[in-house]
Structure formats: structure tokens, C-alpha cells
Amino acid sequence: MLTGCGDQTKDAGSDNATAAAPLADKLPQSIRDKGVIKVGSDIAYAPVEFKDSSGKVVGIDPDLAAAMGKQLGVDFQFENGTFDTLITGLRSKRYDIAMSAMTDTKDRQEGIDSDTGKKVGEGVDFVDYFTAGVSIYTKKGDDQGIKTWSDLCGKKIVLQRGTVSEDLAKAESKKCPAGKKIAIEPFDNDQQAQTRLRAGGADAGSSDFPVAAYAVKTSGGGKDFQLVGEQVEAAPYGIAVAKNQTQLRDALKAALDALIKNGEYEKIMKKWGVTDGAIKEATINGGK
């Protein structure tokens, strides 16, 4: 906690703390007392969140979290977990929030299993901070004739479990003729899916556009993969917050809006080359 020093009065110390963390009073007292927001995240999703060569957690989400932390006067502490367990971890209070390139959808807001249509638990609220579509990529120079999702009929795709890419692949496979369904192989993280495709174990991969574009640019020095077709299903990324944590949710929104207003948000988007997905205002539960 920031305080005054030397001969400064309590009031002066309070003023300094407010200036340093202008939105601290918007947080729940329990979070302020801890000084930490625990973040559940699948830290293998470059450039959104990943570990650099030194093991440091870096990316769009960590940069945004650090900037929000300055507004709120707390540290955002990232804890690694597989993507499909993050909301469960939020419900069990292992995490305060989940921030992991998570698409804000009505199903997630309402706790609905997208496969069965059945309610599996309490939903979550989202504070939306970015917009991204879903892309398909293949080995470079070998697109297998794939330009759209319908071209995947009779082919094999690799992707991360629990993602919108998996939902899209399952939905598209249902449209394929008998005997030509899409073979879908899900992995715990996107890097594993890329490894399988790189080794020739599939015809294509799919992930959110920023992640696919980053893989195309960096994997094998840009020689491993290529994007095919256009991105689809553009939707917001949201910070997931438990339904009963409305004060925390609203504090996060206020912090994001402050970053948008002061230009810090734009700097982070430019740093990672993702300005196309930038938003002009944070929203709550904007997913459909």
C-alpha cells in the first residue's frame, strides 16, 4: 500500500496513494487488503499470454493487467491452468478472475455446456477488452485446398480444447456429408496443436486470429505455417469474473476505460501488433 513519508501528514499520504492508484477505492476491501488479484490463465497462447525465454509471463493480457494494476493499486498474479478448467477454478475461488483470450459468449455467461446445451454450473460475467475472430492455418505451401470451414470436411484439424475453434469445428462437421466428417483432435494448449500440425499429423489448425497470425509469423522463422481464408466469428475477449463479484467486475471495467482514455491501452495494442482488435470502451457481457 502506498503511504506518505517523512513529515507528511496522513492526509498528504492519502492524497499520494490516490494519485498513484486513482481507482483503488473501487475494489472490494478484501482484494485491497490482499493487494493481489489472482488470475487464472492458460499461459501458452502467444501473443496473448506466454512465457518468454527467461520464463517471464508476457503478452497482451499481462501488459494490460499490469497497467490496470497501477490504476487499482494491486498486483495481478498470473497462475497457469489448462483453458478448459479456468471457469471451474473461478467458481471454486482458486482464482479471482480468468484472463486468457477467453471469448465472451452467452453460454459462458449462463453456465451452459456448448456441446449439450445443458446448464453445468453458475455462469460468469465478462469485462470485454478486445475483439478477435477465428482463423484456420496450414503448413506453409500445403493448404490442402482449404479456404473455408466447409473445406475441412473429410480432413483433420488440430486445436485447443474448450475454445471457440473447437465449437466451430464441431458445428461445421455436423454439416458435412456422411463419411466425410471433420476429424477433430483437441489438445490442452495451442502449442501442442501446432506441434502436431508441424509434424504432419493433421491437415490444418485453428485458433483465434492474433494467435494464428503470431504462429505464422514466428514459428520456424515464418516458414512453418500460413493463414488460409478469412477470420470468422469475430467476438469479444472478456475477463471472466464470478457473478457475485459485481464490485470487482465494475472496478476492472473502470480501470480498462481509464487505460483507453489515457492512451496506455493503445500503446499495448501497438506493441503487440493487434490494433485491429482494439476497442473504444470496455463493456460488460457484450458477447452473443
- Report, as an integer, the average pLDDT of 12-32: 78
What's the half-sphere exposure (Cβ side, CA atoms, 13 Å) at 228? Answer: 22
- For 65-77, the pLDDT digits (tens) are 999 999 999 999 9
pLDDT for the residue 177 = 97
DSSP secondary-structure letter at 46?
Answer: T
Q: What is the per-residue pLDDT across 124-157, written as a single tens digit (0 to 9) for each? A: 999 999 999 999 999 999 999 999 999 999 999 9
- For residue 125, the cross-strand partners are 241
Bridge partners of 51, per DSSP, are 57
pTM equals 0.85
Q: Please list the residues that pair with 206 across neighbouring strands.
A: 136
Alpha-carbon span 73 to 89, nearest angstrom: 24
Which domains are seen in the chain, by residue range? 10-132+235-284 (3.40.190.10), 133-234 (3.40.190.10)
pLDDT over 70 at 27, yes or no: yes
* Mean of pLDDT values over 188-205: 97
**pLDDT band with cut points at 50, 70 and 90 for residue 115:** confident
Q: In the structure, what pLDDT confidence band is assigned to residue 19 with cuts at 50, 70 and 90?
A: low
What is the mean predicted confidence (pLDDT) over 264-276?
95
Question: How many helices (H) and strands (E) in the chain?
Answer: 10, 11
Q: What is the mean pLDDT of residues 84-108?
A: 96
Q: Mean pLDDT across the chain, nearest whole number?
A: 93
| The pLDDT of residue 42 is above 70 | yes
Q: Residue 20: what pLDDT?
A: 86
What average pLDDT does this structure show over 15-25?
A: 76
What's the pLDDT tens digit per position in 158-195? 999 999 999 999 999 999 999 999 999 999 999 999 99
The arithmetic mean of pLDDT across residues 241-260, rounded, is: 98
Alpha helices, H only, the chain: 10-20, 29-34, 60-72, 86-91, 106-110, 164-175, 190-198, 209-218, 246-262, 264-271
